[in-house]
Amino acid sequence: MYSLPDAFPYIALMLGLALFPLLLLKIWHVLEKPILVVIGVWTLMVMVQVEGAYHAVHSFSHMFFHEYIAFLAILFALFVVAGGIHVQFNMSDSLKNNVLILLSGAILANFIGTTGASMVLIRPFLRLNHNRPYKTHLGVFFIFIVANIGGSLTPLGDPPLFMGYLAGVDFGWTLQHGWLPFVMTIAFCLGVFACIDRVKNKRTISQRHDVGIAIEGGVNFVLMGAIVAITLFAPCLSSVSVISIMEVEISWQDIIRDCGYVAIGGLSLWLTPKHIHQHQHFNFEPFKEVARVFLVIFLSLIPISAMLKLGCNGPFHVLFNFAHAQCLPIDVRYFWLSGGLSAFLDNAPTYLLFFKMAGGNAQILMNQLPSTLLAISLGSVYMGAMSYIGNAPNFMVRSIAKQSGVEMPSFVGYMIWSCVVLLPILYCISLFLKHF
């Protein structure tokens, strides 16, 4: 049986991912791969010691073929397709246009992911506003709205929701239950943005006229529709095993879904003109880094999952008792716990952690405990915006903004922004979880 020290590889990984890129960026670039290897080997040794070699290999194989490959396949498709879209705004830098761009980015994030929408829109958004005297709020609210909250309606929007989809949550469940908090939060953020923009730039007069929007790589919007179609269609396929790899059963559902994602990514690479990738500064380094990191994340979660299954009788009994009353989840505490960790750790494994702590059965959570599942979903996605390290696009947007001459807040300064702007609306959301 696993014990609390067996969670140390996961804790070490999460702390490393949170602190090293922030405090020791140059060293992290050098030591990232060795650190990941050490933590991966450490986890495997723990699994072999507790489960035995045979069961440890089986647990790893099941994770690799059923969770990691599926995650990597859709990430590849979204990454490549988003990288093939180039947008240019030929319009005035008015408050109305800025609000419309942020709102459009929030909606687009649900189809090409928060990372994809951020990379497509952040550069043209900042270029549009380069003449404004005050620009700090542009990057901050872009992170709030497009890079985080915007991706809260579909499994394509943010990795935590895709993890839930792979675990059995229906594709449209979050849209059905999360649209009202989405509208409330986006409307609140856009309202605050509009007030700041009007006050800080009230003397700014745009010299440009609204001509339109130039979009290159339109074929990728068709391919994005194909990704959505595969995601919706795959659950209708047979889940009966057709092949066994290392005693892990693979179904037609798994094969067609994952191969379909890879094929769409390949088509995008083939059909997208090279100059678009140059405009987008497209390369595979971010994808490779995510692939490495998430392999170790999924691996280190195996002992955590086993311990969470023990509930009140397991090593996490203190956390479990705090989040439950008479063995029933307390939604508000799930919301703030999952959100609090997502603000400083990666939100996808945080979602999985609390999903498993709440029972890990998608059908029970969707039908009997919907407010708990919503609390985990919204907390993990929304509060990724609370710090620069809460979600992958946050730091990328910050870096691009600084390269574009936009003065961005420090780590602490950004958290002051997020606490002042987001905590009031998040508190309201937490109070109404059972009514959404």
Which of these, 393, 395, 401, 384, lies nearest to 185 by C-alpha position? 384
What would the two tokens of residue 211 be? 């001509």
Count of Cβ atoms closer than 10 Å to residue 273 Cβ: 13
Distant-in-sequence, close-in-space partners of 33: CB < 8 Å, separation ≥ 6:
292
pLDDT at 143 over 70: yes
Q: Quote the CA–CA distance of 204 and 200 in Å, as a whole number.
A: 9
The residues, ordered by sequence, that sit 6+ positions from 191 with a Cβ below 8 Å of its Cβ are: none
* 115 pLDDT tier (thresholds 50, 70, 90): confident
Name the residue type at position 58: H
pLDDT digits 0-9 by tens, 69-110: 988 898 888 888 888 888 888 887 788 899 999 999 999 999
> Got the DSSP string for 43-73?
HHHHHHHHH-HHHHHHHHHHHIIIIIHHHHH
What pTM was estimated for this model as a whole?
A: 0.80
Quickly state the pLDDT bin for 382 (edges 50, 70, 90).
very high
Angle at 52 between CA 49 and CA 53, to 5 degrees: 105
Main-chain phi, psi angles of 108, to 5 degrees: -60, -35
Residue 262: pLDDT band with limits 50, 70, 90: very high
Query: For residue 108, how many C-alpha atoms fall within 13 Å in the half-sphere facing its CB?
Result: 24
Of the ranges 1-5, 72-76, 336-340, the best mean pLDDT one = 336-340
Using alpha carbons only, what angle is made at residue 400 by residues 398 and 403, rounded to the nearest 5 degrees?
110
**What digits encode the pLDDT tens for the residues 185-215?**
999 999 999 999 888 877 665 556 666 788 8
What pLDDT does 147 receive?
Answer: 93
Residue type, 419: C
For residue 210, the model assigns a pLDDT of: 62
Mean model confidence pLDDT for the chain: 87
pLDDT of 206 reads 58
